[in-house]
A and B are shown apart, each in its own frame.
Chain A
């Protein structure tokens, strides 16, 4: 079963625009991670945010975490066509024997 739910399911924007994807989860977590997947390929780790952190930056990526709302957001600024991919959030819960649960993902398309 999945823990996280991303929205929107799909997002289409123009190059240069910002893209915001959201993730909600159900149980208390230790960490939340964001991954990117190009079609049919392995996942690439983007960023990890711990439950006691509220915001993290990495290059054009900005992740926020609101544990009171059990939600996180991933912002990609100044998007590029190469950012076209699926983005997943993953949580490792304090209640689930430390296994990792992935959301269904957001399919981002950046048009040149």
Chain B
């Protein structure tokens, strides 16, 4: 158990819909990272927040957005969903930046029908 929790575990929705994925980092960790893993794109970094502020941005689509709240939990919002958005979405947390070990949550499996 990494100490990072993600909800929900599974999500099935239709094209055009909007969903919110939630992540609670390990106690004391200030950074939260979001990743997408799909069969065709592999594992891709989406975005990082540190203590409430966006720190780094990867291959995140404009239809996607994220935020980190004062209690340090984070939410990833996916809108206007397409079939290709079906993937595993992982959240990870670390104490600080990239050189700190990242602890991954169990992931949310999103299926868009």
Contact = CB atoms under 8 A, between A and B. Distances in A.
Interface in A42-73: 42-45, 48, 50
Which one of B48, B58, B97, B106 has the highest number of Cβ atoms from chain A below 10 Å of its Cβ? Answer: B58
A102 B43 contact: yes
A92 B98 contact: yes
Given A99-B56, A100-B98, A41 B107 contact: yes
Interface in B82-113: 88, 90, 92, 97-99, 101-107, 109
Interface in B37-89: 42-45, 48, 55-59, 88
Interface residues on A, range: 20 to 34
A40 B90 CA distance: 11
Contacts of B92: 42-43
Contacts of B102: 43, 45
B98 A41 contact: no
Given A42-B105, A43-B90, A43-B92, A97 B57 contact: yes
B2 interface: yes
Contact of B99 (A2, A31, A42, A103): A31
A42 B43 contact: no
B98 A104 contact: no
Interface residues of B, number: 27
Given A41-B106, A99-B56, A100-B58, A88 B43 contact: yes
Given A2-B42, A42-B90, A43-B90, A30 B104 contact: no
B98 A45 contact: no
Contacts of A43: 43, 90, 92, 102, 104
A24 to B, nearest CB: 15
Nearest to B42: A104
Interface of B: 2, 4, 33, 42-45, 48, 55-59, 88, 90, 92, 97-99, 101-107, 109
Given A42-B2, A43-B90, A102-B43, 8 more contacts: A40-B109, A45-B102, A98-B56, A99-B56, A99-B57, A99-B58, A100-B58, A100-B98
